[in-house]
Structure 1
């Protein structure tokens, strides 16, 4: 067995940061070859320090950390070049602590690299690498929505552990490509499912192939995401017209209110059921016919579709689907009646139109993903 060094080596849902931390510590302590970690957000708080300590303690010979350049510009949801940086000493300390933590990692044998430079005057700010993944020894992979920052660790979210050697090798290959500043648009069949590596506007055809998984639903589709917009909404409307039962699960407290307005505006059109999680949920997942699970970093919104690199996995592994249903769907509540103001609707419509226009322009100019 390729996983004999790792206890309980099977695909499973790790709901919440504590479950993810406990499992990663266990796996990392038994690693021998490599420890690859990638995230969009990395900060010098307790979450970031925990990751570096786990990587330092791991006996893995090769240790690498990929961070999107977003974390050079934004810390704790605030822009570094701002009045807040000048006025708030605690915020300045957060920024400096993040820099010190990267230095500590490098001093202890962890190779660190930032991907997707922001560019002159921040012109490439929209082009983010949104992937979140950890791969241990190329054998066990963790995919999901959790970044390495305290506020992300506090949100309702998950990482999925997948024991699939071909997936691990494929993710390391993608990691290596990103390390060399090459973003992939690629589909890979693995032992337990299908891997999709999206590269913004360069992946339009691949997205169409991916959406076929959803369009082929026979009974039901349940979507969990805080930031739903087109093109996924168009797919859901298509299915609703065919009589497929659609459920959208969204956080009660969305950290991006414009997306809450989009979801509520669409809900009022009556083509899907709306349920909620208390508080803020950052989870991204789609369950099809209670037998196929889609998970990863993408929200399937216009930002991802036009600008970002994403990693998504599609699995029909029955134990994983069952684990997801038992752990994740049990906390869902019926959404209380809530309406969107006329102004809120206009803002939501304006955002989607602007994203479409800017995204279309970006795909034809120097802003396009490379």
Structure 2
């Protein structure tokens, strides 16, 4: 990580779509000069349609709107949906769009998984929430539990610079907005990224540094938990030296194989005192953590091979006692009211047949960074999309 910690910020925790969407849509509606937006998923549902409306309105009143989506996560967005935005002046960019093969998406690895919004260089949002109705409680039992933060202050300049750098190949002319640097609060913060060039392990390194320094407590709430061996070892070592280590993981998974992989690691952690809770009220999609009474992080990065070895990710690190305590109280309530505690006795039952899988899972975490190098890399590229909606609904892409 080569960015400096920046003081003088305000950071507000936003929980689920109910907390996030009203704030981010209001900010977009008040934008004067520029909206930079990165996201993994936009669906053509009530949330995606609200996003579409607010971006179209902003573009029509002269705001520069640059929207970057992932070519895998947003592959099913209808041409008509995109065309309505681009015709109004929204510039729509797809990260690594690839044609389907036998109906299957082929760009599985190295996704644009970041979720960042920067408004006029003054206000930013960062977290794990996509633009889809499954982040709202009225979606039903499969509504996701997730988090983001609203940020003001000098650290917004880091988010603005990061988004501008990602979009640089398609920003014509380049952004002329100069972020404000005046203090907006008392919180220290820094943006930390993961990419496939200069920042391959920055997010993992920040987790490792924080866990090694922990003296009182560690709480991690993460949707897809299959971290590397070093982080597993440091969590176990922290518990051994008396740190209260709590993991809140998926108990009602949106992908069952993900929970199965996570459970292969439970024995290793439980036998050294790590506490594991499975959140069962709804699918956990969050990526948040805290250490002791000051350090916290909220962002897009899971603790799994895709996020730690392939995807473009972005987390905000926060140093502030009040924010840390607020997040701690929320996660403690989540664990006590809506989770099932996982015990070593429970995991030992049936151990004889799971032992080979546990062995394989454990060694995958040790050697996956090396294995990841076998997968073909590709350029981190955005392609501007200008659909021409025809009767057949064909999508024609071209650089603009």
Report the TM range for the smaller structure's normalisation: 0.7 to 0.9
The answer (yes or no) to whether the contact 2:216–2:292 under 8 Å persists in 1 is yes
Choose the corresponding residue for 2:199, options 203, 209, 233: 203
Deviations 1:108-149 (A, max 9, x none): 211110013448966652111110111111111111111112
Q: TM-score, normalised by structure 2?
A: 0.73
The answer (yes or no) to whether the contact 2:40–2:74 under 8 Å persists in 1 is no
What's the CA shift for 1:159?
1.3
The answer (yes or no) to whether the contact 1:36–1:64 under 8 Å persists in 2 is yes
Q: Does 1:314 align with 2:317?
A: yes
Q: What is residue 82 of structure 2 aligned with on the other side?
A: 102
Choose the corresponding residue for 1:335, options 340, 364, 372: 340
Q: What is residue 140 of structure 2 aligned with on the other side?
A: none
Which of the pair has the greater relative contact order for Cα pairs under 8 Å at 6+ separation?
2
Q: What is residue 161 of structure 2 aligned with on the other side?
A: 173
Choose the corresponding residue for 1:70, options 69, 72, 90: 72
Q: Does the C-alpha gap of structure 1 residues 150 and 347 become closer, same or farther in structure 2, counting only changes over 3 Å? A: farther
Q: Does the C-alpha gap of structure 1 residues 290 and 115 become closer, same or farther in structure 2, counting only changes over 3 Å? A: same
Q: Give the secondary structure class of the aligned counterpart of 1:228.
A: coil
Q: What is residue 253 of structure 1 aligned with on the other side?
A: 252
Q: What is residue 44 of structure 1 aligned with on the other side?
A: 44
What's the CA shift for 1:169?
2.1
Larger radius of gyration: 2
Q: Give the secondary structure class of the aligned counterpart of 1:240.
A: helix
Q: Does the C-alpha gap of structure 1 residues 204 and 105 become closer, same or farther in structure 2, counting only changes over 3 Å? A: closer
Aligned-partner Cα distance in 2 for 1:128–1:200: 10
Please, which moves more after superposition, 355-364 or 237-246?
355-364
The answer (yes or no) to whether the contact 1:45–1:98 under 8 Å persists in 2 is no
Q: What is residue 370 of structure 2 aligned with on the other side?
A: 360
Q: What is residue 275 of structure 2 aligned with on the other side?
A: 273
Q: Give the secondary structure class of the aligned counterpart of 1:67.
A: strand
State the aligned residue count.
332
In structure 2, list runs of 5 or more residues that go unmatched. 1-8, 137-142, 171-182, 381-400
The answer (yes or no) to whether the contact 1:202–1:369 under 8 Å persists in 2 is no
In structure 1, list runs of 5 or more residues that go unmatched. 1-8, 74-94, 183-189
Choose the corresponding residue for 1:136, options 109, 112, 119: 119
Q: Does the C-alpha gap of structure 1 residues 345 and 22 become closer, same or farther in structure 2, counting only changes over 3 Å? A: farther
Deviations 1:12-68 (A, max 9, x none): 111110111111233223221211111111221222111111222345621111101
Higher helix share: 1
Q: Does the C-alpha gap of structure 1 residues 193 and 48 become closer, same or farther in structure 2, counting only changes over 3 Å? A: same
What's the CA shift for 1:205?
5.3
Deviations 1:337-370 (A, max 9, x none): 5548556665565466567766524426642665
Q: TM-score, normalised by structure 1?
A: 0.79
Q: Give the secondary structure class of the aligned counterpart of 1:281.
A: coil
Deviations 1:93-122 (A, max 9, x none): xx4x63221111111211110013448966
Q: What is residue 397 of structure 2 aligned with on the other side?
A: none
The answer (yes or no) to whether the contact 1:307–1:359 under 8 Å persists in 2 is no
Q: What is residue 89 of structure 1 aligned with on the other side?
A: none
CA RMSD in angstroms comes to 3.0
Aligned-partner Cα distance in 2 for 1:60–1:241: 58
Choose the corresponding residue for 2:296, options 288, 293, 296: 293
The answer (yes or no) to whether the contact 2:48–2:131 under 8 Å persists in 1 is yes
